[in-house]
């Protein structure tokens, strides 16, 4: 997703996981959870002028969703259970899961080089990058964004053909939409299908995410939360090459919680997909405060707030971090 400064109703959807002990869980009623969330949300919305939010939390394995404010300041339509949010780069975790699922199906291997699936790049540096390196942002210095001049597949292939690494693959973590975007693109190519369709058939449907989309149907546009730029002007995600694979998912708070529960091992997930999800949690490289998994990031527990802030700060987004 483009990192311009915005107040997105969409990207402020929160999926929190509260792990309560068996003894304490009985003390938490739905009203208790609601009051705790209310105390956090009210000052947050006021401080950052957030028009609306959907908050999802899991307490003792039970999901709770709370809606606040409006999904559009123009229409005044309230945030509701069927409100669809852009989840930005959280989409990358779903793309990584699709790639891991393709490996479970024998359609690709994450240790393969790109050139196995894109023969035109056989003798080029990008062709020697592995799929794991794409999924861990360690391909060798890919840019944060796909260059604005690239609008189609032909332009993307020309760019990748000419690309030269700034670092040896596997030695630096450089957060990149190009990197995970190409992981998704190659996964769809290896599976012989359309990326959006594969996401629906292989991930969204089996996980019960029936209100989750890459390509949004016209019939759901009325439920699509409106984002706003810092100056208050309406804004939504930008398109361009690899947008679907890198940041294209729209979903509801309840559906996103279903994905969270599947990742926590608390959902009735088909065995093959469960193995794919577990594969995305494997750590590959250590980069400053975090261990980089297949898109997911992990921290030793317990973790201090300054460590989380460091790992999620702009420095980790725009700088090359030794891996």
- Cβ 121 vs Cβ 115: under 8 Å: yes
- How far from the centroid of its chain's Cα atoms is residue 183's Cα? 13
Identify the active-site residue in 175, 224, 247, 284.
175
How many CA within 13 A on the CB side of residue 291? Answer: 11
Closest Cα partner for 73 from 236, 222, 226? 226
Task: With beta carbons less than 8 A apart as the criterion, state whether 187 and 96 touch.
Answer: no
Q: Peptide bond preceding 171: is omega within 30 degrees of 0, i.e. cis?
A: no
Residue 89 is among the residues annotated as catalytic for this protein: yes
Buried/exposed code over 240-253 (b: 16+ C-beta within 10 A; e: otherwise):
bbbbbbbbbbbbbb
Q: Active site residue: 72, 89, 91, 179, which one?
A: 89
* Cβ-Cβ contacts under 8 Å for 40 (sequence gap 6 or more): none
Identify the burial level of 104 via C-beta atoms within 10 angstroms of its C-beta, where 0-12 means exposed, 13-18 middle and 19 or more buried.
middle
**Dihedral sign computed on CA atoms, order 185, 190, 195, 200:** negative
As to burial, measured by CB atoms within 10 angstroms (0-12 exposed, 13-18 middle, 19+ buried), residue 42 is exposed
Collect all residues with Cβ–Cβ distance below 8 Å to 230 and sequence separation of at least 6.
5, 6, 7
Positions marked active-site:
89, 175
């Amino acid at each position: 997703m483009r990192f311009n400064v915005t107040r997105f109703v969409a990207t402020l959807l929160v999926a929190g996981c509260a792990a309560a002990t068996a003894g304490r869980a009985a003390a938490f009623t739905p009203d208790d959870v609601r009051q705790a969330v209310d105390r956090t949300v009210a000052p947050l919305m006021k401080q950052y002028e957030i028009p609306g939010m959907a908050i999802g939390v899991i307490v003792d394995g039970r999901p709770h969703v709370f809606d606040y404010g409006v999904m559009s300041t123009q229409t005044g339509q309230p945030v509701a259970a069927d409100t669809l949010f852009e989840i930005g780069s959280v989409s990358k975790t779903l793309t990584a899961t699709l790639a891991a699922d393709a490996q479970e199906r024998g359609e690709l291997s994450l240790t393969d080089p790109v050139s196995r699936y894109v023969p035109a790049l056989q003798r080029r540096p990008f062709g020697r990058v592995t799929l794991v390196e794409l999924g861990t942002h360690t391909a060798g210095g890919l840019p944060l964004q796909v260059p604005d001049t690239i609008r189609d597949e032909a332009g993307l292939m020309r760019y990748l053909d000419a690309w030269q690494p700034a670092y040896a693959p596997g030695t630096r973590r450089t957060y990149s939409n190009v990197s995970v975007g190409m992981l998704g693109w190659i996964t769809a190519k290896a599976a012989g299908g359309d990326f959006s369709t594969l996401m629906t058939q292989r991930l969204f449907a089996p996980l019960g995410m029936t209100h989750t989309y890459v390509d949004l149907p016209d019939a759901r546009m009325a439920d699509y939360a409106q984002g706003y730029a810092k100056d208050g002007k309406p804004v939504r995600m930008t398109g361009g090459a690899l947008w679907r694979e890198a940041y294209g998912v729209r979903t509801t708070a309840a559906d996103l919680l279903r994905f969270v529960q599947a990742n926590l091992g608390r959902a009735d997930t088909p065995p093959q997909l469960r193995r794919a999800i577990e594969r995305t949690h494997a750590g590959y490289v250590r980069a400053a405060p975090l261990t980089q998994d297949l898109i997911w990031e992990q921290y030793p527990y317990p973790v201090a707030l300054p460590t989380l802030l460091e790992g999620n700060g702009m420095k980790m987004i725009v700088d090359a971090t030794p891996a």
